[in-house]
Amino acid sequence: QVQLAESGGALVRPGGSLRLSCAASGFTFRDFYMSWIRQSPGKGLEWISYINSDGRAISYADSVKGRFTISRDNTKNSLYLQMNSLRAEDTAVYYCVRGRSYWGQGTLVTVSS
């Protein structure tokens, strides 16, 4: 069955960096576009980035553009999110999502001094 396992969430200070990973299994990873979606504590859902199946098409939400970088390694069935210049408002659970269908369990990023 489809499994998406995020990792890398942590407590980080404002201005710091973090790299999230998502390990995919149970499907042919290279055939699907992937996204990162986040959910701030007690709040709604915010789409933040997309990457197509071969990694050549990428898009970001304005709130993270220039600070976050999405990438993938189809040989390792993995999706990544490099997060730089982190702010308090980036505090959220970050989900890895396959297409529009399957979501991972999420990893918590807390930005605080």
Partner 1 sequence: DIVMTQIPLSLSVTPGQPASISCKSSQSLLHSDGRTYLYWYLQKPGQSPQLLMYEVSNRFSGVPNRFSGSGSGTDFTLKVSRVEAEDVGVYYCMQSVQLPKTFGQGTKVEIK
Confirm if 98 and 2 have CB atoms less than 8 A apart: yes
Q: Which of 73, 60, 68 is nearest to 23 (CA)?
A: 73
State how far the Cα of 28 lies from the Cα of 50, in Å rounded to an integer: 18
- Using CB under 8 A as the binding criterion, the count of chain residues that bind partner 1 stands at 18
In terms of CB distance, is 83 or 104 closer to partner 1?
104
Q: Interaction with partner 1 in 9-68: which residues (CB under 8 A)?
A: 35, 37, 44-47, 50, 59, 61-62
* Max Cα-Cα span within the chain: 40
* Among 41, 56, 100, 113, interactor with partner 1 by CB under 8 A: 100
Q: How far apart are CA 54 and CA 89, in angstroms?
A: 30
Q: Is 80 in the site for partner 1 (CB under 8 A)?
A: no
Q: Which is nearer to partner 1, 68 or 95 (CB)?
A: 95
Q: How far is the CB of 50 from partner 1 (least distance, A)?
A: 7
Q: How far is the CB of 75 from partner 1 (least distance, A)?
A: 26
Contact 81, 49 (CB under 8 A): yes
> Binding residues for partner 1, per CB under 8 A?
35, 37, 44-47, 50, 59, 61-62, 95, 100-106
